[in-house]
Amino acid sequence: MFTGHFAAAIAAKSVAPRAPLWVYVGASQFVDIVWSGFIMAGIEKVEFDETLKGSPLDLYFMPYTHSLPAALAWSLLATLLARRWWPSGTAAMVGLVTFSHWLTDLLVHRPDLPLGFTGPKLGLGLWNYPQAEMALEIGLLGIATGMWVAQRVRSRQTAWPALLFLAFLVMLQMFASTGAGATTAAALGQSALLAFGLVMLVAALVDRRQPKRMGSL
């Protein structure tokens, strides 16, 4: 799961629009942002196996980011951080989006997500069916974008930022697959952080305040 995680961010923006989209985007990948740092530092481990379908990543050790208790703890931390800037409903939404990362990973990962701190490991393995996986990610993005367009139209804003963001993510999904090209943990962590940074930047650009007089599409 790569761009599919952002579906939760877009859906959250349509339900609780007070927090900027880039914050929800960061929350949806908070667990992977920490993971990127941890694999670069050697705290968590990954192997590369090109014979694996869909994604070459053998994620055999990531208890501090991708176990269920860890995902809950990072989500709680995200909620507490968000509470400094936004009301509790919005902060709770930031926490929910953070936790959605683990749930969406559960759909696509091979069994590598520890239910306890070390095991048993869960994962429905949709990565093994790349076309179905791609359809799921783009389908989730489509549904979430529909929600955001509806919310924007209701509040008399233009729909185009939502559509532009969807187009950007679909392109990213088509041309960049998870872990493609990287052969070391350091390179993988670096390219993941760059990708997350880029998506947060584009989210910040499309979600700038629009003057109301532009009307709605």
Shortest distance, position 32 Cβ to Zn ion, whole Å: 4
- In the bound state with Zn ion, the residue whose beta carbon lies nearer, of 32 and 133, is 32
User: Token pair for residue 146?
Assistant: 């529909």
Residue placing its CB nearer to Zn ion in the complex, 99 or 148:
99
- Which positions from 70 through 129 interact with Zn ion, judged by CB under 5 A? 105
Residue 105 or 207: the one with the smaller Cβ distance to Zn ion is 105
Q: Does 137 bind Zn ion (CB under 5 A)?
A: no
Q: At what angle do helices 21-28 and 5-15 cross, to 10 degrees?
A: 140
Among residues 40, 42, 41, 32, the alpha carbon closest in space to that of 8 is found at 32
Q: Closer to Zn ion at the Cβ: 128 or 158? A: 128
Least separation, in Å, of the C-beta of 143 and Zn ion? 21
Cβ proximity to Zn ion: between 99 and 168 the closer is 99
Provide φ and ψ at 59, rounded to 5°.
-95, 75
What is the smallest separation between the CB atom of 159 and Zn ion, expressed in angstroms? 30
Segment contacting Zn ion by CB under 5 A, of 29-37, 86-94, 164-172, 173-181: 29-37
Tell which residue, 165, 104, 169, 105, has the closest CA to residue 138. 169
Structure tokens at 159: 């729909």
Closer by beta carbon to Zn ion, 44 or else 105 = 105
Distance from C-alpha of 150 to C-alpha of 145, rounded to nearest angstrom: 8
Pair 8, 29: CB distance under 8 Å = no
32 near Zn ion (CB under 5 A): yes
Binding map of Zn ion across residues 197-216, x = CB under 5 A, - = no contact: --------------------
Could you tell me if residue 179 is left (phi over 0), alpha (psi between -120 and 50 degrees) or otherwise beta? left
How many residues bind Zn ion, per CB under 5 A?
2
Q: Is the Cα dihedral 134, 42, 78, 121 positive or negative?
A: positive
Q: How far is the CB of 102 from Zn ion (least distance, A)?
A: 7
Write down the least CB distance from residue 59 to Zn ion, Å.
8
Distance CA 122, CA 184 (A): 25
| Side-chain half-sphere CA neighbours of 45 within 13 A | 3
Closest CB 103 distance from Zn ion, rounded Å: 11
Binding footprint of Zn ion on the chain (CB under 5 A): 32, 105
